[in-house]
Structure 1
C-alpha cells in the first residue's frame, strides 16, 4: 500500500506544479478501517446541565467500548492495535428534541448518535510518514468514505433524511443505511468492478488489460449484436452473484431497519449502468415497509460535476468528487 501511495504522490506533485499544500485530507475505504455508530442514552430523574466535560466523558467511554469490542480481537500486536480515526456527533437530542448547540442547556434525557471509525496503528503511521515525505503539513484529517459520503449526501439532498448508499469500488461493495439523519450501519461484501474483468479473463482466456478493454467496448455499446449477446451470457453469472450478495446485505439490514425508498450509488462511470441494471432486478420492497416505487440515483460524474471544478475532464472521478465536496466544508484550497 505504501509503495502505491508514494507513487501516486509523485504523480500528484508533477501534476500540481509544486502547488503549496497546507492541509491534507485522507479518506479511507474498506477494508482499511472499521466503523460503528454508537447510540448513547443517558437519563437522570432530575434535570442536569450539558457540559463539554460531561459529553467528552460519555463519548470517550463509547470509544473505549468500541476499541475493546470483539471486532478487534485479532489485533494482538501493539503496532496493529486500533487507533481512533474519527468520532463524529451525528445527532444529539435533549428530551427527544434534536439540538445543534447543547452546551449549557438543561435536560433529563440525552441521546447521542456517535459515529466512530478506527484504523490499525501501523497503517495510520505509515500513511502519515508517507505524506510527510512529500508535504510538510500539520495534522492529517482522516475520514472514512462511508461517513464522507453520508455527510455529502445529507448536505446536497437536505430533504432526504433516510436513504441507502451503495459504494461500488474495484474489489468491495459497501452499503450504508441512514435513517432520520443518522448513519446507522454499514455492510461490506468482497465483490466489485474487478469481478467483471476476472470473469472475462477466465471465460475468454485473455489478459486482464484485454478483458478491461473488451468490457469497455461492450458497456459503451460499440460491439456487434452477436458479440454483445456473447458478453451478456458470459457476465450473467457475475450479475447473479453480485445481486445475491446485495440481497443478503439488504436482508441483514431489514432484520432491524426497513430499507428506505431512496437509494444512492456510486461506481465508475464505465460500469455504472451495468450495476444499475443489476439493481433494477432486485425486489427492494421485500426488505421494506414502503409501498411506493424505489428511487435509484447515481452519484456519478454528470451529477457531481455541478459541485466541483476539474482542470482536466479525464481526471474526473465520482469518488474523488465526493471527497472534495466533503473536504471543502473544512477548508479552501490554497495555491
Structure 2
C-alpha cells in the first residue's frame, strides 16, 4: 500500500511540560507503529519564582514558538522525506503536571442474585463518578469544578467476581469492579492550546490527554506482561510518580523537585547564572569539568541529590501506607540530566529508606527501549517524552 494513501496521515504531538513544550511531526498509519519525522523542544523562560498567570502566558508563548518552528523547519524538512506530500490532519496534546490532575476511581456493583454486566452499566458508572468528582470539587473549592475541563474519562479495567475480564459485556457475575481513570485540565489552558493548534494547522481534530495515562499505556505495550511498576516523569519544575498495581494505575502524585531545582541549587551556591549552572552540571555529570569545578560542585550536587531522593521517598512512603510499592521503575528524563537522576535512582542506599526491601530496578525510557512501539526518522531528535506520547497517539489513531 502506498505511503500516500488516505490511511496515512500526518499528526502533530505536543508535550506540554512544566519547563518546556515539545512537539513532533508524526506519520500515522493504521497497522503500523507511528513514525516521528521531526521533533523539537522550546523552553519556557527560567523564573526564580513562579507566578501562575505568568507561567500560563509563558507556556502559551512556547506553544506558539513551537508552531512557528514546525512550520519553518519541520514542514520544510518533511519535503525532503518520503512523507513530503502529507499535511497536518491531527493534533494531540499531552499535558504533564502541573497542567493536569489525574485520579483513578473504583466503583463496585454487587448483587447476591447475580446480574448480566452491560456496556450501559459501565457508562452509567462513568457519569456517576464524574458527578461525584464535581461535587467533591465544589465542596472543597467552590468554583473550581467549573474551571476544569475533563480531558479523559476512561474505563481502564473491569473485574467480574474478582478477575480482570478483557471482554466483560454480556457476562454474568455477582460482583463487578469498574476502574475509571479521569484527567482534568484548567479550561483556560485547554482553550489556549487548542486555539493555537487550530490557528496553526486547521486540523480535523485536536485531542487532549494526560502524560500519566499515555505513559501507562505505552509501557504496557512496549514491555509486555508488566503489571506492577512505578512510572517516574522528571520534568523541569516537577517530578511526577504514577503507581501501577495489577495492571491498574492506582494513583499519581507530584513533588516540586525537578531539573530546575538542581539548577537553582548550583546557581545560588556558586553565584552563577542559571545557564552557567546548567552547563557546569552537564560537564560534571559527563566527567568533563576541571578538577577545581568538580571539587566545588561535588558537595552541592550531593546535597541536591539527597534532597530530591528524600522528596521521592516521602511520596512513596505515602503510597506504601495504602499498598505495597512495586520495585520496578520506568523513568523518562530530559536528556541533559539523565546522569544526575539515574545516579540517584540506582544508588544502593535506596533500599535503606524502609519503603521497599530491595533496590529499585530502573529502566530509562528512551528511543532504544521504545522501538517496538515508535520509530524515529534518521535525522529526527529522539526526544524520550515525544517517543512515549507519539506511541500513544498512534494507538488512539488506530482505534478510531
Shared fold per TM-score greater than 0.5 = yes
Q: Contact 2:351–2:359 (CA<8 Å) still a contact in 1?
A: no
- Contact 2:222 / 2:372 at 8 angstroms: preserved in 1? no
Point out where structure 1 has 5 or more consecutive residues left out of the alignment.
none
Q: CA RMSD in A?
A: 2.2
Conserved 8 A contact 2:331-2:364: yes
Tell whether 2:282 aligns with 1:282.
no
- The structure richer in strand per residue is 2
Structure-1 separation of matches of 2:318 and 2:242? 12
Q: How far did 1:284 drift?
A: 6.5
1:73-84, aligned counterparts within 5 Å?
73-74=140-141, 76=143, 81-84=147-150
Distance 1:74 1:198 in 2: 32
TM-score for both structures, normalised by structure 1: 0.91
Q: Matches of 2:61 and 2:135 in 1, distance apart?
A: 31
Aligned residue in 2 for 1:102: 168
CA distance in 2, matches of 1:71, 1:163: 33
Kindly tell me: are residues 106 and 160 of structure 1, through their superposed partners in 2, closer, same or farther at Cα, counting changes over 3 Å? Answer: same
Q: Distance in 1 between matches of 2:213 and 2:178?
A: 16
Give distance in 1, aligned partners of 2:190 and 2:136. Answer: 20
Kindly indicate whether the alpha-carbon contact (under 8 Å) linking 1:219 and 1:270 is maintained by their aligned counterparts in 2.
Answer: no
Structure 2 CA distance for aligned equivalents of residues 10 and 59 of structure 1: 39
Quick one: distance in 1 between partners of 2:92 and 2:295?
A: 44
1:45 is the counterpart of 2:112: yes
- Note if contact 1:41-1:109 (Cα within 8 Å) is conserved in structure 2: yes
In the alignment of these two chains, the number of paired residues is 329
Match of 1:28 in 2: 95
Alignment map for 1:1-335 (pairs within 5 Å)? 1-17=59-75, 19-70=86-137, 73-74=140-141, 76=143, 81-279=147-345, 280=347, 281-283=349-351, 286-288=354-356, 293-304=359-370, 307-311=373-377, 315-331=381-397
| Structure 1 residues 176 and 224, CA gap change in structure 2 (3 angstroms) | same
Which structure 2 residue ranges, 5 or more long, are not aligned?
1-58, 77-85
| Alpha-carbon offset, residue 108 of structure 1 | 1.9
TM-score calculated relative to the size of structure 2: 0.77
Query: Quick one: structure 1 residues 307 and 7, their matched pair in 2 at CA, closer, same or farther if it must change by over 3 Å?
Result: same
The whole-number CA distance in structure 2 between the counterparts of 1:302 and 1:71 is: 45
Question: CA 1:158–1:309 in 2, change beyond 3 Å: closer, same or farther?
Answer: closer
Specify which structure has the bigger relative contact order, considering alpha-carbon pairs within 8 angstroms and separated by 6 or more residues: 2
Deviation at 1:283, TM superposition (A): 2.2
